[in-house]
Chain A
Amino acid sequence: MYEIVSSVRRDYIADLAREGKRIDTRTMDQFREVSVEVGPIKSAQGSALVKVGKTQVVAGIKVEHAEPFPDKPDNGMLVVNAELLPLASPTFEPGRPSENAIELARVVDRGIRESNAIDLDKLVIKSGEDVWAVFIDIYVLDHDGNLIDASALAAIAALLNAKPPEDEAWTLPEFPIQKRPVAVTVAKINSKLMIDPCLDEEGVMDARITIATIEDGSICAVQKGGIGCFSREELEQAYEMARAEGAELRAKLG
C-alpha cells in the first residue's frame, strides 16, 4: 500500500517550496517540536519515547549474553532492529520487515556503530566465547513523517538511559557510552531544501538526505534516499543544516 498524494496537494507543496514556504507554516530550517521522555519502559534496560510533531517512536535496549562473531572475538555486539508497526500507519502491514523498516534500522545502526557511541571493546566477558550483545529495538507507534531522525534520537536517548544488566558477569561501573550521534534529515522539494519533512512533504519530495553528526560537528553516517539528486552545493548546505540542528537535538538528550 502507498499513501495517495493528490495532484492538488503535490502542486500546493511544490508551489510553496518555490517561495521558501511550507505546508505547516514552518521555515525551511525549522524542526517540528521535539520531546524526549527517557525510561518509560521498565522491562527494558534503557528506553526512550521520542515525539517529533505527531510522529512517535519508542526505543528499548536489551543487553544479553551472546557468542561473538568469529572475526571479532573481542568486541561486544550491536543489533538494531526497527518495526514499522501496523498501528502506526494505514500503509504499514504486518509481516516480515519491509525494505523501509530495514533501511531505517540500518541507518540508525550506522550512526551508532560508526561513531563508536558504545564502547564495544569493553563489552567482552570471555574472548571469543562470551560477549555482551546490545539490542536496540525501535518501535514506530505513530507515523507522521521523518522516522529516521525520531528513531535515531530515541536510540541514543535510550542508550544514555541504559542501566547495566543485573548479572554477575557485568563488571563495568556503568553502561559505556562515549558519543552522542544525532541524525538530521533534509528533504528536497522543487529544488529547495527543508529540514525534518512531515508526512505530506515526504509524499512529494524528490529526494532526502540524512546526515548523522557527533558532538564536534563531524559526520558519522549518511544516507541519501529517493530518486531525485543533490548537487555539491546542496550537499554542503544540507550538512550545514544538519550540523546546526544536530546540536539543538543533542541538547535535548540532557
Chain B
Amino acid sequence: MKKPEKLIENGKRLDGRVPDEMRPLKIEAGILERADGSAYVELGANKVLAAVYGPREMHPRHRQQPDTAVLRCRYNMAPFSVDERKRPGPDRRSVEISKVTREALESVLFLELYPRSVIDVFIEVLQADAGTRTAGINAASVALADAGVPMRDMVSSIAVGKIDDTIVLDLTKDEDQWGTTDMPIAMVPRKKLVTLLQMDGHFTKEEFGQALGLAFKACEQIYGIQRQALREKYAIKQEK
C-alpha cells in the first residue's frame, strides 16, 4: 500500500474511526483446555492468545527464589501473522516485548505467596495489525485471573500516537507505518498507575499530556471489558 495523502479526512481515519476511538475489542476467558488459565483477544484485526501455567515447580532448580515465585513471559508471533512470513523463534523485538510485558504485569501479582515456584505467561500473536503487545497484555491479565493467580488488580493496555498532527487512539498498522508517533501504554486502572510506557516518534509537551489522557480513558474502558470476560466465564447461571 502507498502512503495515502491524508490519514485523517473530515475528522475520520482510514478505517472510519474518529481520533479518540478504539478498534472493536473482544475478550474471551478460559478457551484452552490444558493451560491453567487462558484468554483470547481480538483488537480490530489483531488476534492474540495468552496462556498461563502455574504457579508450578521451577526448572531449572537453581533459578528458584526461596521467598517468591518467579514470573516469566514469552511474547511470540506466528509466522503467518504478518504479511511477509516471519521466521519462527525469538528475535530482538520479541525478546524486548517479552521483557516489558513481564514488567508491566509483575507489580499486580502476589508472587510472594508462592516461594520457589514459577508462573509462565505465553502470548501468541496469530494475526497482527499493530498494537499486538497491548492486546497481549490485556489477554495475559485476563489469563492470569482465569488461572486463579492472586492479583491486586488487572492490567489494561492500549497504544496512542500521532498521525497528521492529530493525537489518535489505538493505531492500525497503516497508521503506525505512516504516522509520526506510537506510544504503547499499560496501566493498573484502579490506581491509575502506569506499568508500561514506550514511545517512538515525536510529541510536544501538550501532545504528550493529551495522549496520556486518551490512553487513561481507553484503559478504563478495556478494564470493564476484561472484568466482563471473567464474569461471563464464571457467572452463576440459572438452570435452563
Contacts and interface: CB of A to CB of B under 8 A. Distances in A.
Interface of A: 1, 40-44, 47, 54, 56, 58, 60-62, 64, 81, 83, 85-90, 94, 96, 135, 137, 139, 141-144
B34 A43 contact: no
A137 B78 contact: yes
Given A43-B128, A85-B122, A142 B88 contact: no
Contacts of A142: 32-35
Given A41-B47, A62-B85, A86-B74, A54 B126 contact: no
Interface SS, A side:
loop
B38 interface: yes
Contacts of A41: 47, 78, 80-81, 126-127
Interface string B51-92: 101001001000000000000001010111111110011100
A1 B53 contact: no
10 contacts: A1-B59, A47-B80, A54-B33, A62-B85, A64-B84, A87-B50, A87-B122, A94-B74, A139-B126, A142-B33
Contacts of A139: 78, 124, 126
Interface in B74-113: 74, 76, 78-85, 88-90
Contacts of A64: 84-85
Nearest to A79: B85
Nearest to A55: B33
Contacts of B182: none
Contacts of B49: 87, 141
A143 B38 CA distance: 14
Contact of A81 (B88, B127, B128): B88
Interface string B14-45: 00000000000000000011110010000001
Contacts of A144: 33-34
